[in-house]
């Protein structure tokens, strides 16, 4: 009986495989046209792509929400995903310099080649902050072209969403109207939320924060916060005891009492500094999905703003 069931299942499985092979080679009717295959390097970009693409797209993120987006663990499966992509959305400004180029080269997909309509570079159109005047890559600094952590400014997200809608419409013209309609509703939602977030943070203008990496400068600029120090001496370079001693002195002088960390950063280092300065360490992920229940850009930002407001209020 068991053997028979197993055999039946196996036969059914083989048949299903064969059928899927046939389906893939047969021309697909327009009504059942496959979804646009969109690959985003990071979960935040993927979240925005889903808002704009709706049911017409199938979105995959390469980086995990809990991973440092500068240092995503490149896997062979990423090459397959990129090979099948119709569209690739990357952050740009060298955010993915350490891992994306070799994957792209191996994927051999002209649709997402540099300059193709299927290639979207989010940093294009963004006014980057902290563009260095001189730069020495040998020192390990990973922000060579300016700060690439610009998605936590909602106004930057509107610019990026506009670019995504434009490219989607170009690659998939039959759904152009859908993409434009989704963009319009996304933008009005961002506007509404931005007003709400600004209201929540308005009482804390000038509030001081310390971050592990230089990853909150766009939020600070948008909402009038002040980044006093970073635990890393330079972006991508691990904190040294000498640098941390300077950070502690600066925090005491400025009376900064909030340290923000990401899931992949060394929380114990932050805790050590917090103990010596009377600060609190806040886990505020910048990627949707890093925290349960915060799976979209909006819920991630809701959590970020309310957690900061709570900390500044001193509750």
Q: Which residues bind Zn ion (CB under 5 A)?
A: 235
Instruction: Supply the minimum distance, in Å, between the C-beta of residue 92 and Zn ion.
Output: 13
Return the H-helix or E-strand segment holding 248: helix 241-254
Instruction: Supply the minimum distance, in Å, between the C-beta of residue 246 and Zn ion.
Output: 20
Residue whose C-alpha is closest to residue 100's, from 130, 122, 117? 122
Residue 126's contacts (CB-CB under 8 Å, 6 or more residues apart) are: 93, 150, 156, 159, 160
Classify burial at 85, counting beta carbons within 10 Å of its beta carbon; exposed 0-12, middle 13-18, buried 19 or more: buried
Choice between 53 and 235, CB closer to Zn ion: 235
How far the first Cα of the chain sits from its last, in Å, is 64
Residue whose C-alpha is closest to residue 84's, from 68, 62, 55? 62
Choice between 85 and 157, CB closer to Zn ion: 157
| Residue 290 φ/ψ, nearest 5 degrees | -70, -25
Instruction: Supply the minimum distance, in Å, between the C-beta of residue 147 and Zn ion.
Output: 7
Instruction: Supply the minimum distance, in Å, between the C-beta of residue 236 and Zn ion.
Output: 7
Return the H-helix or E-strand segment holding 301: helix 297-313
Instruction: Supply the minimum distance, in Å, between the C-beta of residue 70 and Zn ion.
Output: 5
Please say whether the dihedral angle defined by the alpha carbons of residues 263, 269, 272 and 277, taken in this order, is positive or negative: negative
Choice between 147 and 175, CB closer to Zn ion: 147
Instruction: Supply the minimum distance, in Å, between the C-beta of residue 143 and Zn ion.
Output: 6
Task: Assign 3-state DSSP to the chain and report helix, strand, coil percentages, each to 5.
Answer: 50, 10, 40
Choice between 86 and 232, CB closer to Zn ion: 232
Instruction: Supply the minimum distance, in Å, between the C-beta of residue 242 and Zn ion.
Output: 22
Choice between 118 and 235, CB closer to Zn ion: 235
Choice between 51 and 96, CB closer to Zn ion: 96
Report the distance separating Cα 270 and Cα 266, nearest Å. Answer: 7
Instruction: Supply the minimum distance, in Å, between the C-beta of residue 214 and Zn ion.
Output: 6
CB 81 within 8 A of CB 103: no
Choice between 109 and 265, CB closer to Zn ion: 265
Q: Closest CB to Zn ion belongs to which residue? A: 235
Number of Cβ within a 10 Å radius of residue 54: 16
Give the 3-state DSSP-derived string for 27-40, with helices as H, strands as E and coil as C: CCCHHHCCCEEEEE
Choice between 43 and 235, CB closer to Zn ion: 235
């Amino acid at each position: 009986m068991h053997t028979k069931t197993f055999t039946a299942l196996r036969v059914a499985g083989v048949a299903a495989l064969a059928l899927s092979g046939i389906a893939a080679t047969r021309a697909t009717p327009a009504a059942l046209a496959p979804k646009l295959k969109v690959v985003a390097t990071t979960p935040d970009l993927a979240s925005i792509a889903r808002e704009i693409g709706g049911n017409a797209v199938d979105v995959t993120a390469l980086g995990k929400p809990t991973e440092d987006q500068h240092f995503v663990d490149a896997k062979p499966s990423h090459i397959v995903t990129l090979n099948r992509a119709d569209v690739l959305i990357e952050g740009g400004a060298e955010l993915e310099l350490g891992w994306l180029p070799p994957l792209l080269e191996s994927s051999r997909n002209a649709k997402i080649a540099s300059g193709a309509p299927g290639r979207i570079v989010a940093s294009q159109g963004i006014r980057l902050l902290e563009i260095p005047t001189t730069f020495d890559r040998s020192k390990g600094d990973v922000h060579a072209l300016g700060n690439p952590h610009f998605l936590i400014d909602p106004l930057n997200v509107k610019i990026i969403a506009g670019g995504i809608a434009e490219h989607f419409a170009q690659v998939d013209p039959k759904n152009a109207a859908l993409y434009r309609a989704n963009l319009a509703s996304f933008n009005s939602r961002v506007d509404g939320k931005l007003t709400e977030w600004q209201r929540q943070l308005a009482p804390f203008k000038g509030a001081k924060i310390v971050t592990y990496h230089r990853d909150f400068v766009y939020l600070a600029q948008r909402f009038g916060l002040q980044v006093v120090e970073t635990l890393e001496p330079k972006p991508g370079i691990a904190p040294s005891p000498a640098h941390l001693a300077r950070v502690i002195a600066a925090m005491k002088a400025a009376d900064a009492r909030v340290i923000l960390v990401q899931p992949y950063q060394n929380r114990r280092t932050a805790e050590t500094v917090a103990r010596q300065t009377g600060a609190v360490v806040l886990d505020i992920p910048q990627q949707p999905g890093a925290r349960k229940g915060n799976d979209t850009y909006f819920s991630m930002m809701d959590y970020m703003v309310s957690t900061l407001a709570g900390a500044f209020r001193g509750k």
